[in-house]
Chains A and B, each alone.
Chain A
Amino acid sequence: MGLSEHPLAQIVQGGEPWMTTRMDFLVNWSRANSLWPMPFGTACCAIEFMAAAANKFDLARFGMERMSFSPRQADVLICAGRVPFKLAPVMRRIWQQMMQPKWVISMGACASTGGMFDSYAVVQGIDTIVPVDVYVPGCPPRPEGLIYGIMLLQKKIMAERASDKSLRQEMEPDPRSQLYIPPAAIDELSEPFGNSVHQTRSGL
């Protein structure tokens, strides 16, 4: 996505080089093409993520080659793998430590929905802990899938408007329950689906 291709950008040939563009576009363009990922790899999706970062698929093409293992220098949290309940406060803490602007990619079935781990130990979708921007389906998704998700995120970033104050609002969890969406919504999101509806909560 070259800057000169944008309809609003004009580069006048000859004389002093200058150009005009929209501020939103310039900011979004630079953000979208230098996303620093915070890799939160917990399972097999992380293997595919590593493959995506390595030379064959080469995340560097998207300005993402700099893995930020400190959340304070990261732009996008890529959750690759299932998140057990014991890790939920850790993930929440990492998300809160990240600076605005920040985004989340939920990579794979487990991170997005709990996947096949409809059990006592696994969070049924990380969107119950942190707000998610892009869900990448797959078990695990191939690197192409993740790259497609990243390109969708770039599209989303390009459409952001600085005048939209709601975009950069920090998520405020309820101080008593630490939940940021209503409990009823979490129960609904976590409802079993597919084959697992045949199981019951009563056990045995």
Chain B
Amino acid sequence: MNSSAPFTPVIAGSAAADSVPATPKNVAHRGGPASPAADALRQRFGAAVQRVDVVWGETTIVVDSARIAEIVSWLRDDPAQRYDFLADITAVEFRDAEQPIEVVWHVRSLAFRRFLRLKVLLGQGQPLQVPSVWGIHKSADWLERECYDMFGITFTGHPDLRRILMWEQYREGYPLRKDFPLRGRFSRSEQLRQALSANPEARYSMDELSIAQAFEDLPNDMRRRLSEGEKTGEKTGE
């Protein structure tokens, strides 16, 4: 695609008659051309790019864990890459305990319609810790919380890293880890006792509930209307 015209709409049926659809049938399982981001990252970050795999036509780049935030930031801001949408953050643990745990970032370039998968390998004995990309993509907030909740991976620099799917006092561990038994560690009565003793309203931090605290962040016109005491839907001056 021509990078000077970053966006061309796709019209159904407009593909050339002899073009091959990019379905798994016509794409090699392994190998094939890597995304241009791979070479660009190698040039820019050198040894921080550890490995590039192409699986089913999708590029996976294994990078150094310490530089992941820097790489995601560069991918977003570089005019030739523009990976501006963080689609997912997750982790993979393998049944083979020798294999490292992988933390995976899925980024998408809306302008170039490209997809890129970034991975960090956390080997045995390494702390389950990677830098947060919250400062670059705000969508990382809940994604990192989920990853922390399910896998116990700590994202350093995340402003509010706590459980999101399980309740905050959950004490049985990280459910998607391989050493976690399917039914949990505690007996059913103990699980129910702990769940019922939680206060359903206490799960939200006051930050999420307080409108007064959000006042400063509101747009100017809304702040003015609220400070004048205007009520929603009320007509004035008639």
Contacts and interface: CB of A to CB of B under 8 A. Distances in A.
Interface of A: 85-86, 88-90, 92-93, 118-121, 123-124, 128-129, 173, 177-179, 183-184, 186-187, 189-190, 192, 199-204
B188 interface: yes
B166 interface: yes
Given A89-B198, A120-B172, A203 B179 contact: yes
Contacts of B184: 119-120
Interface of B: 165-167, 172, 175, 178-184, 187-200
B181 A203 contact: yes
A137 B191 CA distance: 25
Given A90-B200, A186-B188, A190-B188, A177 B182 contact: no
B183 A85 contact: no
Nearest to A83: B195
A123 B195 CA distance: 10
Given A89-B199, A199-B182, A201-B183, A128 B192 contact: yes
A187 B178 contact: no
Contacts of B196: 88-89, 92, 129, 173, 177-179
A92 B172 CA distance: 22
- A interface, over-half SS: loop
A183 B189 contact: yes
A89 B187 CA distance: 18
A85 B180 contact: no
Contact of B189 (A90, A119, A120, A187): A187
Most buried by A among B178, B179, B191: B191
Given A177-B197, A179-B192, A187 B187 contact: yes
B188 A119 contact: no
Contacts of A183: 187, 189-190, 193
Contacts of B198: 86, 89
Nearest to B167: A86
Contacts of A124: 188
11 contacts: A85-B194, A86-B166, A89-B200, A119-B182, A124-B188, A186-B189, A190-B188, A192-B183, A203-B179, A203-B181, A204-B179
A120 B192 contact: no
Contacts of A200: 181
Contacts of A177: 193, 196-197
Nearest to A89: B200
